[in-house]
Amino acid sequence: MSEKAVQIAEMLDMLPESDQQLAYELVKKLVLAWDPDFTKVTEQERKDIENAEQSGFVDENAIDWDNLSNYE
């Protein structure tokens, strides 16, 4: 978690519960405005995805999910 996110969480924790709910709804609204389908990724997530793709991961469509014992 970024330092800014930690600071925000600490400030949020100081508020009464009703105000915490209001802050939560505001953050939720901001996130949905930024990405209505939660499909954007952060820079770190993009790097993680690239690393995973280059690591030899297997596409889920290539797995026989009914016969997982074949992969042991």
10-residue mean pLDDT series, the chain (72 residues)? 92 95 93 81 88 82 86 73
How high is the pLDDT of residue 7? 95
The residue range of the domain holding 7 is 3-57
70 inside domain: no
How high is the pLDDT of residue 22? 96
64 inside domain: no
CA separation for the pair 52, 48 (Å, rounded): 6
24 inside domain: yes
36 inside domain: yes
How high is the pLDDT of residue 47? 92
Q: How many domains does the chain have?
A: 1
62 inside domain: no
DSSP state of 26: H
How high is the pLDDT of residue 39? 77
CA separation for the pair 43, 49 (Å, rounded): 10
CA separation for the pair 67, 70 (Å, rounded): 6
How high is the pLDDT of residue 67? 87
DSSP state of 63: S
* CB proximity list for 23: less than 8 A, separation 6 or greater: 12, 15
How high is the pLDDT of residue 34? 83
49 inside domain: yes
65 inside domain: no
